[in-house]
Amino acid sequence: MTMKKKTTAAFTLIELLVVIAIIAVLASIALPVFSSVQTKGAQTKALSNGKQIALALRLYAADNNGTYPSYLVDADGTPTTNPPTAVSSSNDALCQLFPNYIKSEAIFWLSKSKWCSTGSPDEAQDSTLTVPSGETLKSGENEWAYVVGLNESSNPAVPLLADGFITGGETSHRYSKDQTVQGGVWKGVNAIVIRADSSGTVEKVNADLTIHGPNGSSGGTPGDIFTTANASNGWLGTANTVVNPK
């Protein structure tokens, strides 16, 4: 009587290497897609937050003679008008939305932005608002750059809020491809822009690292949307400069 030889199925070395190679190829395809999905999700959330801030700005304007917060405030929290002293950072303006129009600092914070601290906002607020503020929307709690001097009668298409620009880039309106620096939140590929009518979009960043689009130019040629050179055509003027976050 002969005995059957017991055999065990197993991968050969070649088969194992082929399986590993296939997994590596699939991973190389899937990881960039996953990263892109994460970025799109973060941008969608940030865009929604920006629109909420813009709505709060409009509510503020309705209670303050149609003017968005752009100036320092008196001791009682009333915006100064005689003479107005413009804020030096977007935090100084946007903190004036608390507590009547916005309750939480979280919608100003973006984890990917180097304008923001690594931890979430502490939600601490001054009992009486002063500008610059002590606790309300302090340094590291805000990602948004802000255009000062706008009001409810401003051209609804002009920009109101945008991702913070590079450090010192308020006049050049430039972003960075380096995500590890301020102004590089979307790697110089995209930027979120909220308009004066509270609409918002994720915009493509131009080759010169600024955002191009209709900007009131006399010839209709698209260009830097934050330019202040086309006030005579109903666009931003010299009183509508951009201030970065703290």
Query: In this structure, are residues 243 and 88 in contact, taking their beta carbons and an 8 Å threshold?
Result: yes
Q: What is the pLDDT of residues 93-132, one digit of tens each?
A: 999 999 999 999 999 999 999 999 999 999 999 998 888 8
Q: How confident is the model at residue 30 (pLDDT cuts 50, 70, 90)?
A: low
Give the predicted TM-score (pTM) of the model: 0.84
**Would residue 162 be called left, alpha or beta, if left means φ above 0 and alpha means ψ between -120 and 50 degrees?**
beta
Q: What is the pLDDT of residues 174-217, one digit of tens each?
A: 999 999 999 999 999 999 999 999 999 999 999 999 999 999 99
Which pLDDT score, from 0 to 100, does residue 31 have?
Answer: 63
Q: SS3 string of the chain?
A: CCCCCCCCCCCCHHHHHHHHHHHHHHHHHHHHHHHHHHHHHHHHHHHHHHHHHHHHHHHHHHHCCCECCCECECCCCCECCCCCCECCCHHHHHHHHCCCCCCCHHHHCCCCCCCCCCCCCCCCCCCCCCCCCCCCCCCCCCCEEEECCCECCCCCCCEEEEECCCCCCCCCCCCCCCCCCCCCCCCCCEEEEEECCCCEEEEECCCCCCCEECCCCCCCCCEECCCCCCHHHCCCCCCCCEECCC
% of the chain residues with pLDDT over 70: 91
**Identity of the highest mean pLDDT range in 45-54, 82-91, 123-132:** 45-54
